């Protein structure tokens, strides 16, 4: 069994992210002893963006969202997510 390196203390999430982007985690973590866990309440990080859409598209989204009883922004995120996944899977083949 090899000796693992100590994980340094980080001043920020950005510093930690940079560290793991440039270091091999197998030198710091023994994955053979890892256990699978679930974080059911963990929400993904989000970022606010600004996007210009035609008024007619927004109105159509609102109509569709109203039929599903969801906010139109949520419906737009669902549509975007579905299409991105579809495109990623079609280009992976």
Q: Residue 45 half-sphere exposure, CB side, CA atoms within 13 Å?
A: 2
| 65 in Cβ contact with 72 (< 8 Å) | yes
Whole-model pTM: value is 0.53
How many domains is the chain built from?
2
pLDDT for position 1: 63
Q: Around Cβ 62, how many Cβ atoms within 10 Å?
A: 13
CATH of the domain at 75: 1.10.1220
pLDDT in tens, 24-75: 999 999 988 889 888 888 888 888 999 999 999 999 999 999 999 999 999 9
Query: Are 58 and 90 in a shared domain?
Result: yes
Tokens 């600004």 correspond to what residue?
Answer: 50
Query: Are 18 and 50 in a shared domain?
Result: no
Distance CA 5, CA 13 (A): 20
Tokens 């963006």 correspond to what residue?
Answer: 49
Domain coverage including residue 73: 41-93
């Amino acid at each position: 069994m090899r000796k693992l390196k100590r994980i340094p203390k980080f001043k920020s999430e950005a510093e930690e992210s940079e560290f793991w982007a440039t270091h091999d985690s197998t030198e710091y973590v023994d994955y053979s002893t890892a256990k699978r866990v679930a974080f059911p309440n963990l929400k993904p990080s989000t970022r606010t963006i600004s996007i210009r859409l035609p008024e007619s598209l927004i109105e159509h989204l609102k109509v569709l969202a109203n039929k599903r009883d969801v906010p139109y922004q949520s419906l737009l995120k669902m549509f975007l997510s579905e299409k991105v996944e579809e495109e990623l899977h079609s280009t992976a083949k």
